[in-house]
Structure 1
Amino acid sequence: MSRAPDAIRVLVPLAPGAEELEAVTLIDLFRRAGFTVVVAGLEPGPVTCSRGTVIVPDRPLEDLAGQSFDLVVLPGGLPGADHLRDDPRVQALLRGQADAGRVVAAICAAPKALASAGLLAGRRAAAYPGALEESGLQPTGAAVEIDGGVVTGRGPGVAMDFALTLIEQLGGKALRERVEEPLLR
């Protein structure tokens, strides 16, 4: 994209039981990139993640009706990914994002929400082992997969690679390098 990083808008829907390592890594690295990041809870108030970490979203998801984002990215974790899959607002948001040609992404168990929205049919996808069983899809085993406007990641151990891949996709290689270099990877 040729826009300034702060013009790039990212939405991170956060459900109870989300994987905090993934959520915090995504939010942190996107903010380091200078993106405008909105963390939206499925319900008002703090969200308790899968290992008991409490995150206070910027706002509830329903406050964002009608807004557009360059990227909607779903952290995984259980039961967080199930809540994302089962929430009709999230499903409509994902389909609308894809229909508009904007990027959707999910890591760990959250690709099941993409599958439920019909966005993984005929695509390569990375996911936590077993996360896509109910959809009949097989994850590739790759750490990160990019297939058109759909980006998926395998699990918590690749959260940083996943976030950096998305930064590069949205903001270019130079921005990714600028974010990655001080991380001393």
Structure 2
Amino acid sequence: MSGELEGKKVAFLATNGYEDAELSSPWEALEAVGATLTMVSPESGSIKGKNGHQQSVDASPSQVQASDFDALVLPGGVVNADHLRTDDASVAFAKGFFEEHKPVAAICHAPWTLIEAGVVDGRRMTSYHSLKTDLRNAGADWVDEEVVVDHGLVTSRTPADLAAFNAKTVEEIGEGKDQDQTV
């Protein structure tokens, strides 16, 4: 439905090495329903996916805050997620969405940033299978499912899950804040 998310502002947080489809597919899905999208990255200019997709950067995590947006999308990719979880401004930006009870969608390796933000304890989640132990050690209830929604937190495993991930991301953004989406 075109215009379903008209007026909703969504931040994407990524850096070089993201999984191309995990950025481009949700971006296109959200754009198609009228959301206003902003690419946030610790890099300036543009970032490049592991397979060559280029994405222009609109702002750094230190220039924006969760209150500027209605939701956050975290694409995966090992290199991307590993760099973001060591960037204090990126971690603080992601954590802000939980403090404000706003929807967050994370796929593949992206939950590493959420572990670092300290927001996964007690949450039911999925991810790329290699993060299972990391998430469980951080207190999450990890499950091997295509897509999991836990009070505004949407998680998926791999690019094969993008159709379900995109649909649930659109749905959760449309529903808005969830008071149980918190740190």
Which residue does 2:96 correspond to in 1? 96
Deviation at 1:16, TM superposition (A): 0.8
Deviation at 1:65, TM superposition (A): 4.3
Establish whether residue 170 from structure 1 lines up as the match of residue 176 from structure 2: no
Contact 1:78 1:109 in 2 (8 A): yes
Q: Which amino acid aligns with 2:169?
A: L
Q: Residues 15-35 of structure 1: CA distance to partner in whole angstroms, max 9, x if unpaired?
A: 110011110001111000101
Contact 2:16 2:48 in 1 (8 A): yes
Q: TM-score, normalized by length of structure 1?
A: 0.83
Establish whether residue 56 from structure 1 lines up as the match of residue 56 from structure 2: yes
Aligned residues: 170
**Off by >6 Å, runs of 4+ in structure 1:** none
Which residue does 2:43 correspond to in 1? 43
Contact 1:129 1:139 in 2 (8 A): no
2:65, 2:113 → 1: CA distance? Answer: 19
Which residue does 1:117 correspond to in 2? 117
2:133, 2:50 → 1: CA distance? Answer: 21
Among 148, 156, 181, the alignment partner of 1:153 is 156
CA separation of 1:134/1:5 partners in 2, compared to 1, >3 Å: closer, same or farther?
Answer: closer
Q: Residues 139-185 of structure 1: CA distance to partner in whole angstroms, max 9, x if unpaired?
A: 3001111111221111111122211111112226xxxxxxxxxxxxx
- Structure 2 residue ranges without an equivalent (≥5): 176-183
Which residue does 2:144 correspond to in 1? 141
Contact 1:98 1:149 in 2 (8 A): no
Deviation larger for 103-112 or 133-142: 133-142
Deviation at 1:132, TM superposition (A): 4.1
Contact 1:84 1:90 in 2 (8 A): yes
Deviation at 1:78, TM superposition (A): 1.6
1:64, 1:25 → 2: CA distance? Answer: 23
Partner SS, residue 115 of structure 1 = helix
Which residue does 2:84 correspond to in 1? 84
Contact 1:104 1:151 in 2 (8 A): yes
Q: Which amino acid aligns with 2:146?
A: A
Q: Which amino acid aligns with 2:69?
A: F
